[in-house]
Every structure is written in structure tokens, then in C-alpha cells.
């Protein structure tokens, strides 16, 4: 059986048919929701609460933060977290 050419419905059917695959299938489904879809919707619907990216480095605590040195382009939302 060539798994690359299976349609989504057929793949789900095989997972449900074979009991040993069901726990792993549920884990994959949960991971897809929590690790991909939920962050995508949070970023789109709540941009002020859920930043697109967070960049931290171990030297951040030794460097002073100067807000006047940070620039953004017009129409771009810039969110800076000070930790």
C-alpha cells in the first residue's frame, strides 16, 4: 500500500479501523490543533496578545533597551516584550 497516494478520508478510516493506530492518531490530531492551528488563529485574531515571534538571547539581560532605537515601517505593528 502506497501511503503517499491515500486520500485523507481513507487514511482516517485506516486509523479508526486498526485499534493500535488510534492512540497515535489521536496524539497527532491533538498536536496539529495545539501546535499549528491554535497558534495560527491566535496570531490572526489576537495580534496584540499572541506575538508572531519572540526572540530572546542570553545576552539580552546585559544590554540596555533603548526604545528610540527601534523603528518600524509604516503600517507595520511592532510589539516588543521587555523581559
Q: Is residue 27 assigned to a domain? A: yes
Q: Is residue 73 assigned to a domain? A: no
User: Is the Cβ–Cβ distance between 57 and 47 less than 8 Å?
Assistant: no
Q: How many domains is the chain partitioned into structurally?
A: 1
Q: Is residue 25 assigned to a domain? A: yes
Burial of 58 (0-12, 13-18, 19+ CB in 10 A): exposed
Q: pLDDT at position 42, please? A: 80
User: Is the Cβ–Cβ distance between 54 and 60 less than 8 Å?
Assistant: no
- Reading the chain (83 residues) residue by residue, the pLDDT tens digits are 676 788 888 888 888 888 888 888 889 889 999 888 888 888 778 777 766 666 777 777 787 777 777 666 666 665 665 55
| Residue ranges making up the domain that contains 41 | 3-54
String of DSSP letters for the chain: --GGG--HHHHHHHHHHSGGGHHHHHHHHHHHIIIIIHHHHHHHH-TTTS-S-----GGGGGSPP-GGG----TT--------
Amino acid at each position: 500500500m502506497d501511503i503517499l497516494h491515500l486520500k485523507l478520508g481513507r487514511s482516517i478510516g485506516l486509523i479508526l479501523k486498526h485499534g493500535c493506530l488510534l492512540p497515535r492518531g489521536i496524539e497527532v490530531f491533538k498536536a496539529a490543533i495545539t501546535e499549528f492551528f491554535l497558534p495560527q488563529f491566535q496570531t490572526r485574531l489576537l495580534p496584540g496578545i499572541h506575538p508572531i515571534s519572540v526572540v530572546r538571547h542570553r545576552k539580552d539581560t546585559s544590554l540596555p533597551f533603548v526604545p528610540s532605537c527601534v523603528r518600524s515601517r509604516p503600517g507595520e505593528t511592532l510589539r516588543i516584550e521587555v523581559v
